Every structure is written in C-alpha cells, then in structure tokens.
Amino acid sequence: MQNISYLKKVNSESVVQQVINALTEAMLNRELRPGDKIPTEAELAESMGVGRNSIREAIKILVYLGVLEIRRAEGTFVCEGFSESMIDPMIYGIILDKEDSYENLMELRELIEVGVMQLAMQKIQEDDLYILKEKLNRMEKEINKGPENVENAFWADNEFHNTISDMGKNPLVNKINQVVRVLTHSMRLKTVETMIKTGRGWELFEAHQKIYEMMANKVTDNLNSAVRKTYFSDIPFTGAEE
C-alpha cells in the first residue's frame, strides 16, 4: 500500500467535496505531481475513512474537470498540462452566478485585455507585428464590404485580438482570455454588427488601428482608454441588466 499519510480522514459533511479538496491540496503541495498515479479507490477510502462510492464520485468529477485521467488496466493518474475541459466549469459558474452583472463582466474584460496586451508588448517580435498588421488589414477589408459581411468582419476582429494574445506566449493567459472572449461573444458580435450597419465601420477599424500602433511602439500610457474605445459602450446591449 502506498504511503498516503497526506490524505486525512474527513467528516460526513459534503464527503465527495472534501475528497476532492484533499486530493487538490495534495496536488498543490506537490505530494501528487503531474503524471503521478494516485492510490486505488480502496486505499483512498481506508486512508480518508470514507466509502468507496464517495471516492469514485470524487474521481469522476476530477476526470470531468480534466485534472485526473483513467488509463485502463493501469489506474488513475494526475493529468499533465492544461486541459480544455478545465475551462467549461469556469464559464458555467460565471453564467449561472446570480450576482453577476454586465458591469462586472466589462471590468473583467478590460482587466484581461489590457493585461494580455501588456504581456504581448514585453515579448513582441518583428514577425509578430507583421502578422498583426495582416490581421488588421484583413479586418479593414471585411468591414469595408458592408452590412452583408458582418460575420466575416467579426471573425477578422477575433483573429486580430487572438493574435495579440498569442504574442504573449503564455498558454495559461491564452486560456483565461479565451474564457472572457466566450463570455463576451454576444456583446462583441452586437458591437461589430451595429457599427457596420450604422455606417460607423470606419470607427471600428480606427479603434483597432490605434491598438496596433500602440503595440508596434510599445506604448502603455492610456492603454486602458484605448481598449475601452474598442468597446463602443454607447451601443446598448440587450444582455445588460436593466
């Protein structure tokens, strides 16, 4: 039997959650590392003083979250690296939070986008700027095609911002940014659609051109203001709280 003294007995309240917490703490303390095989259900149950059903349910949840993986005939292992499935619970948690608000989401959006750009400026290379300029040019081209081309203009906008995120060369930051972009998808699409259909497509392009120039020159002064200008907050969003 493995030495699993780091797993303490739990009380009867929220047993499954406490098993999850114990395993998570063991990972945070590096007692369980990426790639490690965790103890068997029987060993975990005996060490923690809980039923095997609770252990089984806790493992199922951690597998769903992308923290553990089950290998047939081998056992259960701590995953190595970041899994896409880790993002989904975070998204649902924010969507279903009754205390959430449009203002909170916009604050989060600005905080992440500004941080992403600051990181990109620290690591930016000449080739990155060339690619970003191509994305900006494509965005201008798609916007100029008019109201019938809103979807393509929107995806060109996405590619521009995703390129900036990639320039930071930090997979974890990319994932957090991805969560924010999923949460703001509807409002961002509404902004692009409204700007183009009301003849303000040029404003949309110029706001992003300003971002490109700041990236190229590594200008951080007034970056928050420049980012907010790409939101065009004068456009009402029906998802916002009344």
8 Å CB contact between 164 and 117: yes
Looking at per-residue pLDDT, the higher value among 131 and 89 belongs to 131
Top pLDDT among 10 and 61 is at 61
pLDDT above 60 (res 12): no
Encode pLDDT of 173-191 as tens digits. 998 898 888 888 888 999 9
Check: CB of residue 82 under 8 Å from CB of residue 199: no
In the chain, domain spans = 15-81, 86-229
Residue 107: strand, helix, or coil: helix
Residue 170: pLDDT above 80? Answer: yes
Q: Compare 77 and 90 and report the one with higher pLDDT.
A: 77
Q: Between these two residues, 51 and 91, which has the higher pLDDT value? A: 51
Q: At what angle do helices 201-217 and 150-167 cross, to 10 degrees?
A: 10
Residue 235 burial (C-beta neighbours within 10 Å; 0-12, 13-18, 19+) = middle
pLDDT at 93 over 70: no
Q: Is the pLDDT of residue 116 over 80?
A: yes
Determine the pLDDT at residue 139: 97
Average pLDDT, the chain: 87
Q: b or e along 1-20 (b: 16 or more beta carbons within 10 Å of the residue's beta carbon)?
A: eeebeebeebeeeebbebbb
| 187 or 153: which leads in pLDDT | 153
Q: Does domain 15-81 have CATH number 1.20.120.1690?
A: no
Give every CB contact of residue 157 below 8 A, 6+ residues apart in sequence.
139, 188, 192, 204, 208
| Most trustworthy range by pLDDT among 2-16, 21-35, 175-189, 202-216 | 202-216
pLDDT of 239 above 90: no
The residue with greater pLDDT, 85 or 41, is 41
Determine the pLDDT at residue 66: 83
Q: Is the dihedral of CA 152, 147, 137, 175 positive or negative?
A: negative
The pLDDT of residue 218 is above 60: yes
86-229 domain in CATH 2.30.30.30?
Answer: no
Whether 37 and 74 have beta carbons less than 8 Å apart is answered as: yes
Cβ-based neighbour number of residue 101 at 10 Å: 12
15-81 matches 86-229 in fold: no
Q: What is the structure's pLDDT at 105?
A: 84
Tokens of 198: 């009301």
